[in-house]
Structure 1
Amino acid sequence: MSSFGRRRMLALLAAAAFAEPLLATRLTTATAATTGELAPLVMQVVAHEDDDILFMNPDLAASLATQVPTVTVFLTAGNQTGDPCQTNCGGQPDTDWERTQNRQLGAINAYSRMAGVSDTVPGTDEEGRWARDMLRVGDRSVERYVLRERPNVHLIFVNLHDGNLISLEQDRTATDFTVTPPPVDNHPPVQPTTYNGNQVAGLLKDLMVAYQPSVLRAQDEYPDPAKRWHPDHLAAARFAAEAALLYRAAQPGTAMNLVQVNYRDYNIETSPVNLEASAVTAKAGIFAEYQSHDHSTGNYSPDWFSRMYYRWSRGTSWAGVNADGRPQAFVVRNGMLYTCWRTTSGGWSDSLQLADPGGRLAPGIAVGTNSDGRLEVFAHRLSDHHIVSLAQNTPSQEWRQRWTDHGTPNPGNLASQVGSPVVANDDDDRLELFVRNAGGGLSSKWQTTPSGDWSSGWADMGGSDIQDPVSAVRNGDRRIEVFASTSTKMLSWWQTSRNGAFAGPGEIPGARPASPPKAVLNGAGRIHLAYRESGTGAMGISRQVAPGGSWTTPSFYQGHGGVGEPAATVAGGKVTLFERNRGTGVSSTVQATETVYAAWKDLGQTALDYPAAVTDFAGVAHVFVIGTNGRIYVHPMNTPDGTWHGPF
């Protein structure tokens, strides 16, 4: 073992005494608010020491740059790769522990870079910028690193064997033991800790109780079986989800502040490039810090550096307008649905939990308006992958206590590949529901009478390779049009008559999407279709030439960077677009003429992912975001109180 490894081992055996005060500080901060609101804290749970760098960036680096407290839990020791040399590495280290050490060093160097703390000796931690200890969690201990210059940045290593995590998740009678260091000098050996699957989930739950995260990041629980994925990534994501439910049972008050974000896995390599060049360079630089300790380059695809995709997009349809003109927004926290709204006095309500949906909800919420003015929200329920909805009992008033189950267009093993719902109104104001189906096409279901039942059954509308979610709007001829991005083009479907059947899919000319689209009807009755451009991250806008008519060649606006679909609303007859920008704030642009948009304006704030926007009956546009504390913020535009309000 190297001299550095021996010093490191002695530090671990000493179990530094500063650990508990740091943890106590977090607990004091978290429980201080009388409203039960938590200070922001982001927790990542991943299998390996590079999973977060490769698949959660640039989100991870951005949250560190904004000084949000961060803890990352690495479940495996990563002991199948990792090496001790800096250059010309021709072989692997001799022991599991040496490989584990070096992957840990790669992680702490990557986090040093993301946190803006650099070692003067690149590729090492010889200066001791990270303090190490053994953190007691319940009846177990885990290895923890704390960044001395940013003590709100923690890395936790559980050190289970690489490649064995999926067996623990699937077979709860199976056990594994931690990779542990060899004896050092006269110190007694560190004994391995044995885990079964229930104990892994329990450890994560205990860490959530201790740290009380407001955001939980994990990878894909439901990967597409037809594409490449990693079993340990799947296991880590499932353990994180299981632990979140255990956390909810153990501490229902604080656990209900938790917002979950899942990231797609290896299969992002088949999706369009959605990061701008500067973000690709930054991501590659972060990974280079890690890779100085893990030269197994054959395991990495360069396509991962230019992409980041959510497994369940929040979308931009999670706000609506009540029958009396007051905006209302919705957020999923720890699988349950919460809402806030503009009150009749002009303020904003506290957050209200709505009825139990009977299982965890995915974050993508779509808001529709029934013909009688009652709002209805639609979601994908993860426990059975059914589409479900909840409606108001009375327009602008209370909500029902029971969800409506709309089933799924794809019963069986592939139901998990069904997407998140969107809704639009037919000419007679019946709601029609659209969703990406498990075959990659489009499916729909509709009310048989205005504000009535949903007995139509599911209809397959064709298409393939569409990305989630889709967008739907009633056009200037009062016929619904639906839009969906694929990996290479933009598809559309359209009603051939009011309340009638659909034709398509057709193709929007010139569109090169790297995000789902957002369709909005402007004051002239023409649809504007906004989406990110593949390879640049610029905002592409395709416009109808006439209501319900053909399409122009798209225009592209560089904006302020970032990824993902825009939000859109119409105020004063003009479209306003909102994007989550490269700094995780919100930027906006407004339609200056029928064919030109004004310069982008940075509205500030910190957005967890994608905004939503609506216009109230007074003509005031409102943009909503979810903060890193899991709470809703709102910005009314062009009014005396035109600044951010919240949290709610």
Structure 2
Amino acid sequence: MKYSPGINRYLKLALSEMQLSKYVIATILGFTLCSPLIARSQVMTPAPMVMQVVAHEDDDILFMNPDLSASVSAGTGVVTVYVTAGESNGSLTGDPRTLYAAQREEGARAAYAAMLKQSNTSLTWIRSLLTLPNGIVAEKNTLRSNPSVVLIFLNLPDGGDPDAAYALYHLYEGVAPSSYATIVPTGTDGIGLKSSTYGSKSDLVNALVFLMNQYKPTVIRTLDPRPYSCPACTGIDYVNFDNTDHTYVGRFVDVALNQYLAASTSVPRVSLRNYLGYSIGQYQGNLGASEYTVKRSVFDAYKYWDHNLLSQENNYLGYFGTSYPKYSGGTAWLTQTQSGNLAAFSVQNGKLAVWSRPNANQQWTGPVLQTSSDPLMPGVAVAKRPVPDNRMQVFALSIPLAQNTDGAPESLKIVTSIENTAGGLNFTKWLSLGIPTMNCDPNASCLASLGSPIVATSQNGLFHVFIRNDRQGISAIHQRTGDTWSSWSDIGGADLFGDPTVVVSKNGLIHVFGTSRNGQISHWIETANNAETFNIDSHFPTTSAASTTNASIDSDGKIALFYRQPGTANVVFIKESVSDSLWSATVTNISNDGGFGPVVPLLNPTTKKLSLVTTNSLAGLSSSTQSSPASSVYSGWSKLNGLYVGYPSAVADNGGNTVIGAIGQNGRLYINGVAVGN
């Protein structure tokens, strides 16, 4: 990563020592995790393998931590591919390009050794050559004490190298010059590394496909292939800018992953996770003190080898307390069907993955990967169609790879699919709902920042779909009788991140919440039942959030809104004082158990208590429950450990049991900490 023009607005705190059990079955806060309703799967769990594909030698530790540290510390197989040598025009202290490239590689080795609490010496790593398709040669570093940790340096020219400026852009777009020789870092002659030539886009795509085939990742982490850019913006308002190398690495991964999956049906299921880059320094700090400490310590191990960073360290302060995914994946993907059965929905291999539990006495089955013409992004919204239809309907964001360029309105679309038959959980016919193009800023990367859809059901049983639009506000589209749809309309808002939150009040009114990058929560309320129009709540309390929000109706009928505080990552909530009218300004602090990201509330229909589920500092989950119905007092946090992708979901089954779901880094569905299905 090179110098960011971003201004550090927040001094952020955040990863205590990570340790992980395979899973814990315990009783958490009044509900039993090892319920007889939850059957243990007999299917052997595949070993998780996480692949990071990044542009520069510090991108993974800056943008993918603390997720990366959690995987490494847990003993998960990890392979990181550095696409460029990061040599720029040499260091600011006068080191030539090949020496600066070698220094940054050593920094990467030092960072991974630090994550494993090992010293970094010449004996720590086994350095060797790796031959890729078309005779291209890369450097492979294998951790001697743990061969499942591998670093691969492709050594393509950095975008800031004046002798090969923006090489990745030229290769991807086929713009001359479109042939580039790799950099040979100083000292690599000892292992016989020589320069290779990437002569086309396909050379790099084939190299990545080769590596995916070799390591069979179950999770791929990479950077944002579609950052929202605003050339007319400057300084602090230039929010979602990113480095060109970051963007094109993300795009190369999209193409390579599509080819890898298309060539074989026997590879492990893959979850794709994109991370925001430079812009995270201009968002609220969403990591707590422990996460900050470990992320900073890993970075400190790297920085002593990067002379540019040492001279500009103050420009990096905003990155240590933050980590934001491009797509959160949502928290409402575990649901009860109209028949009372349970179903879970995720995106794997770019397709809708569906698990099901037919009844309380049967095991979970799945996932079944559903047919779709174009890849889906993480984040699926699920809704029940009204009686007598009884079918489920899903909504997702689809991005055709063939049109994966900024500024093409047809390149993104919101799609929906209705279950073929009630209870079958098969979704084969997809309808495009289009996109809210009326907002597209001609000075921005059109539609690049569309979020994932969120759905609410109005009092008349019709659906309303909400998304973060290209102007970082919220747009909506409304279902009409006969499965026709309105045109897209604006709800309002600006500068929002993540996905909106929706909840239907006890009186049937839809409430919508959005969080801006400066932490302000905005609230809109439906003007009347089934109205399709919304007013901004100008009296909503001023509060600051470092996560998207989640809402639930408490047992007293009032809406409670949960989120995390900036800097501390503490879980807090505010609550209505008068339904559909007034909110209390009191912010109640429930503390935290580490971790970051959204908080999932669920009202148990039997106990009438709200339970909260969120991530913890062990990269697992923690839960807390109200001491009594409608109380503002919550119990201490109890852990349900694991190693997961994205965020959890929770639902009550028809027996009144609270069921917590999470997607493991091995691709399996975990229910209350136990792997189920396949």
TM-score computed with the length of structure 1 as normaliser: 0.87
Name the amino acid aligned to 1:588.
S
Quickly say closer, same or farther: Cα 1:45–1:181, change in 2 above 3 A: closer
Q: Which has the higher contact order (CA 8 A, sep 6+)?
A: 2
Q: Which moved more, 1:383-392 or 1:346-355?
A: 346-355
Q: Which moved more, 1:260-269 or 1:550-559?
A: 550-559
Structure 1, gaps ≥5 residues long = 1-32, 84-89, 120-124, 636-642
Partners of 2:386 and 2:498 lie apart in 1 by 27
**Shift in Å, 1:396:** 2.4
Counterpart in 2 of 1:530? Answer: 562
Counterpart in 2 of 1:91? Answer: 93
1:541 aligned onto 2:551 = no
RMSD: 2.3
Counterpart in 2 of 1:13? Answer: none
1:253 aligned onto 2:237 = no
Partners of 1:555 and 1:183 lie apart in 2 by 57
Q: Which moved more, 1:590-599 or 1:502-511?
A: 502-511
Partners of 2:539 and 2:431 lie apart in 1 by 34
Alignment of 1:291-440 (within 5 A): 291-297=303-309, 298=312, 300-344=315-359, 346-372=361-387, 373-383=390-400, 384-410=411-437, 414-440=446-472
Alignment of 1:421-570 (within 5 A): 421-449=453-481, 452-486=482-516, 487-500=518-531, 501-506=533-538, 508-552=540-584, 553-570=586-603
Counterpart in 2 of 1:68? Answer: 76
Contact 1:82–1:103 (CA<8 Å) still a contact in 2? Answer: no
Counterpart in 1 of 2:86? Answer: 78
Q: Which digits, 9 at most, give the CA deviation of each residue in 1:507-565, with x for residues without a partner?
A: 63142110110011122211111111111100111111233232121211112011111
Partners of 2:318 and 2:198 lie apart in 1 by 37
Structure 2, gaps ≥5 residues long = 1-40, 160-166, 231-238, 401-410
Aligned match of 2:244 in 231, 240, 256? 231
Quickly say closer, same or farther: Cα 1:183–1:302, change in 2 above 3 A: closer
Counterpart in 2 of 1:612? Answer: 649
Quickly say closer, same or farther: Cα 1:267–1:580, change in 2 above 3 A: same
**Shift in Å, 1:37:** 6.3
1:211 aligned onto 2:215 = yes
**Shift in Å, 1:335:** 0.8
Partners of 1:246 and 1:507 lie apart in 2 by 51
Q: Which moved more, 1:110-119 or 1:165-174?
A: 165-174
Name the amino acid aligned to 1:225.
S
1:591 aligned onto 2:631 = no
Contact 2:136–2:198 (CA<8 Å) still a contact in 1? Answer: no
Contact 1:585–1:604 (CA<8 Å) still a contact in 2? Answer: yes
Partners of 2:42 and 2:207 lie apart in 1 by 28
Counterpart in 2 of 1:220? Answer: 224
Quickly say closer, same or farther: Cα 1:246–1:505, change in 2 above 3 A: farther
- For the residue of structure 1 that corresponds to 2:467, the secondary structure is strand
Quickly say closer, same or farther: Cα 1:183–1:578, change in 2 above 3 A: closer
Quickly say closer, same or farther: Cα 1:82–1:590, change in 2 above 3 A: farther
Partners of 2:289 and 2:427 lie apart in 1 by 48
Q: Percent identity?
A: 32
Partners of 1:142 and 1:627 lie apart in 2 by 31
Aligned match of 1:150 in 146, 153, 160? 146
Contact 2:127–2:191 (CA<8 Å) still a contact in 1? Answer: no
Quickly say closer, same or farther: Cα 1:520–1:131, change in 2 above 3 A: same
Name the amino acid aligned to 1:463.
G
Contact 2:179–2:197 (CA<8 Å) still a contact in 1? Answer: no
Name the amino acid aligned to 1:116.
K
Contact 1:180–1:191 (CA<8 Å) still a contact in 2? Answer: yes
Partners of 2:576 and 2:190 lie apart in 1 by 78
**Shift in Å, 1:354:** 4.4
- For the residue of structure 1 that corresponds to 2:660, the secondary structure is strand
- For the residue of structure 2 that corresponds to 1:329, the secondary structure is strand
Partners of 1:183 and 1:566 lie apart in 2 by 48
- For the residue of structure 2 that corresponds to 1:62, the secondary structure is helix
**Shift in Å, 1:647:** 5.1
- For the residue of structure 2 that corresponds to 1:612, the secondary structure is strand
Partners of 2:620 and 2:189 lie apart in 1 by 52
Counterpart in 2 of 1:116? Answer: 117
Aligned residues: 593
Partners of 1:431 and 1:305 lie apart in 2 by 40
- For the residue of structure 2 that corresponds to 1:283, the secondary structure is helix
Q: Which digits, 9 at most, give the CA deviation of each residue in 1:397-435, with x for residues without a partner?
A: 343420121111127652222111111111112111111
**Shift in Å, 1:73:** 0.3
Partners of 1:37 and 1:644 lie apart in 2 by 11
Q: Which digits, 9 at most, give the CA deviation of each residue in 1:143-194, with x for residues without a partner?
A: 0001111211000001111112222122266111111267999998834333
Contact 1:406–1:454 (CA<8 Å) still a contact in 2? Answer: no
Aligned match of 2:254 in 230, 238, 241? 241
Quickly say closer, same or farther: Cα 1:259–1:36, change in 2 above 3 A: farther
1:165 aligned onto 2:161 = no
Partners of 1:624 and 1:111 lie apart in 2 by 30
- For the residue of structure 2 that corresponds to 1:233, the secondary structure is helix
Partners of 2:293 and 2:191 lie apart in 1 by 45
Partners of 1:110 and 1:183 lie apart in 2 by 19
Q: Which digits, 9 at most, give the CA deviation of each residue in 1:97-140, with x for residues without a partner?
A: 21221111010000100122124xxxxx24x1111100223343
Q: Which digits, 9 at most, give the CA deviation of each residue in 1:70-115, with x for residues without a partner?
A: 00000111112666xxxxxx72223x32122111101000010012
Partners of 1:278 and 1:323 lie apart in 2 by 42
Alignment of 1:21-100 (within 5 A): 38-80=46-88, 91-94=93-96, 96-100=97-101
Partners of 1:310 and 1:619 lie apart in 2 by 33
Name the amino acid aligned to 1:589.
S
Quickly say closer, same or farther: Cα 1:398–1:99, change in 2 above 3 A: closer
Name the amino acid aligned to 1:292.
Y
Contact 1:355–1:402 (CA<8 Å) still a contact in 2? Answer: no
- For the residue of structure 2 that corresponds to 1:610, the secondary structure is strand
Partners of 2:493 and 2:534 lie apart in 1 by 13
**Shift in Å, 1:476:** 1.5
Name the amino acid aligned to 1:221.
P
**Shift in Å, 1:195:** 3.9
Name the amino acid aligned to 2:501.
S
Contact 2:392–2:425 (CA<8 Å) still a contact in 1? Answer: no
Contact 1:492–1:507 (CA<8 Å) still a contact in 2? Answer: no
Q: Which moved more, 1:496-505 or 1:555-564?
A: 496-505
**Shift in Å, 1:506:** 3.6
Contact 1:388–1:405 (CA<8 Å) still a contact in 2? Answer: yes
**Shift in Å, 1:196:** 2.2
Partners of 2:107 and 2:611 lie apart in 1 by 44
Q: Which digits, 9 at most, give the CA deviation of each residue in 1:193-251, with x for residues without a partner?
A: 33422100110000000100000000001101123210001111111111101101222
Partners of 1:301 and 1:187 lie apart in 2 by 34
Partners of 1:34 and 1:569 lie apart in 2 by 29
Contact 2:393–2:419 (CA<8 Å) still a contact in 1? Answer: yes
Quickly say closer, same or farther: Cα 1:507–1:103, change in 2 above 3 A: farther
Quickly say closer, same or farther: Cα 1:208–1:37, change in 2 above 3 A: farther
**Shift in Å, 1:321:** 0.9
Contact 1:516–1:531 (CA<8 Å) still a contact in 2? Answer: yes
Quickly say closer, same or farther: Cα 1:189–1:624, change in 2 above 3 A: closer
Name the amino acid aligned to 2:656.
G
**Shift in Å, 1:278:** 2.4
TM-score computed with the length of structure 2 as normaliser: 0.84
